[in-house]
Amino acid sequence: MAKVFVIGATGGVGRRLCPMLVSAGHQVTGMCRSPEQVEELINRGVEPIEADLMDLTADQLTAMTVGQEVLVFSAGAAGSGLNRTAEIDGEGPLKLIEAARQNGIRRLYLVSAMPEAGRGQEPSEGFEFYMRTKKQADAALAASGLDWVILRPGTLLHEDCDDGVCLSQALVYGNVKRGNVAAVLAELINTPTIRREILELTDGSQPVRQAVEAVAHYR
């Protein structure tokens, strides 16, 4: 089992992911922004670190992640403005990549977005900026030399895991429950042989474990 550090531990994916990792025997540390969230993480068996990603430097994040073995980035600005998108979705993964390098941490998992997101809708400056920012973060991680996995879910639904997914390197765009994203991410972390992969994810009919095993087998 591993020491896992989660950025976005109280978000829609992270709050579902952390208990799954704890149940699997991992030692989980989660970053949060408020005292109320600290209590929430403790109740889920997660060691909390209270900090705001907007204010953190790469050096500060490096200090926070000393001794960790796996890093997870599942935070997002959630449409709260261009500046927050740039800092959270853009600079956040770059800071975590630097922290991984400084601490000799090989494994980093990034929750991103499928390129087809928003296709067919009226374009907006904010959304176009968000998609460019996400792609830039993906590209930086892919070029990092780390043992990364980029998980690109479809449209996120506020629902728990129902253990039915479709997972592949390329998929037709669709919806996916946040609980299913968390479950796939947890299973990927439990399968360290899967590395340097960009995987797309939607809801489907295949159980999570079988879907991840299939990815491991075709490598």
The reported pLDDT for the residue numbered 217 is 86
pLDDT averages per 10-residue partition of the chain, 219 residues: 97 97 98 93 97 95 98 90 95 98 98 84 83 96 98 97 97 97 98 98 98 90
How far is Cα of residue 203 from the mean position of the Cα atoms in its chain?
A: 17
- Beta-carbon contacts of 74 under 8 Å, excluding residues fewer than 6 positions away, are 6, 7, 8, 9, 11, 13, 14, 17, 111, 185
How many Cβ atoms are within 10 Å of 140's Cβ, its own excluded?
15
The reported pLDDT for the residue numbered 125 is 85
For residue 136 the two structure tokens come to 């830039």
pTM score > 0.85 for this model? yes
- Asked if 213 and 192 touch (Cβ cutoff 8 Å), the reply is no
For residue 30 the two structure tokens come to 């989660």
The reported pLDDT for the residue numbered 219 is 65
